[in-house]
Amino acid sequence: MTPATPYIGDWPTLRATAERLRDDRARTDPEFVKSGKLAPAAADARAQVAATLATIWAAVDEHRDIPEVHACDAEIRADLAWAVKAAERLVATRPDDLALARYAARLATLAHYHQPYRPGAHTALIRFLHCCNQQARADRAARNAAA
């Protein structure tokens, strides 16, 4: 699935998507562990990545610096790739569920923003863009203060 154009640059919607992923996992993963469908260590890793995503996207949406987080960009990329594939499988079984299709498209957009910002880089595109945006805001504030 490719990123959905309506969600490119829509920081509040992407933040909400990251928060939904975190909250969905917090709600469903304990039952998956209890039923043996998910190992406890895997559930912990999924929770850590989802919490990291929510933290990153809250900072992006609020124009704050991204704090230290507990999952690296490679872990986030791998997790989002799995989440996108899982969402695509669900959409295929429920083609009339537009809300699910929109959620899957937003997950694909998150995955897009967490790809390396250039070939050979490890840093996620969103981290690079956010740093550029933060610098532009600081420069604009300094020019306005000097005026």
Domains of the chain: total: 1
State residue 96's pLDDT score. Answer: 96
Q: Provide the 8-state DSSP code for 2.
A: P
CB contact set of 1 (below 8 Å; sequence gap of 6+): 84, 87, 88, 104, 105, 107, 108
Confidence class for position 146, pLDDT limits 50, 70, 90: confident
How far apart are alpha carbons 53 and 69 in whole angstroms?
Answer: 9
Q: What is the pLDDT of residue 90?
A: 96
**Is pLDDT of 80 > 90?**
yes
Model confidence at 31: pLDDT above 70? yes
Query: Would you call 88 helix, strand, or coil by DSSP?
Result: helix
Q: What is the pLDDT of residue 1?
A: 52
- Beta-carbon contacts of 127 under 8 Å, excluding residues fewer than 6 positions away, are 56, 66, 73, 117
The pTM score is: 0.90
Q: What is the mean pLDDT of the chain?
A: 94
Task: Give me the amino acid identity at 40.
Answer: P
For residue 2, name the pLDDT band (cuts at 50, 70, 90): low
Residues pairing with 124 in the sheet? 116
Among 2-11, 30-39, 75-84, 125-134, where is mean pLDDT lowest? 2-11
* 82-111: pLDDT as tens digits: 999 999 999 999 999 999 999 999 999 999
The rounded distance, in Å, linking the Cα atoms of 138 and 128 is: 16
Query: What is the percent of the chain with per-residue pLDDT over 90, rounded to a whole number?
Result: 87
Residues 6+ apart with CB under 8 A from 97: 91
Range(s) of the domain holding residue 11: 5-146
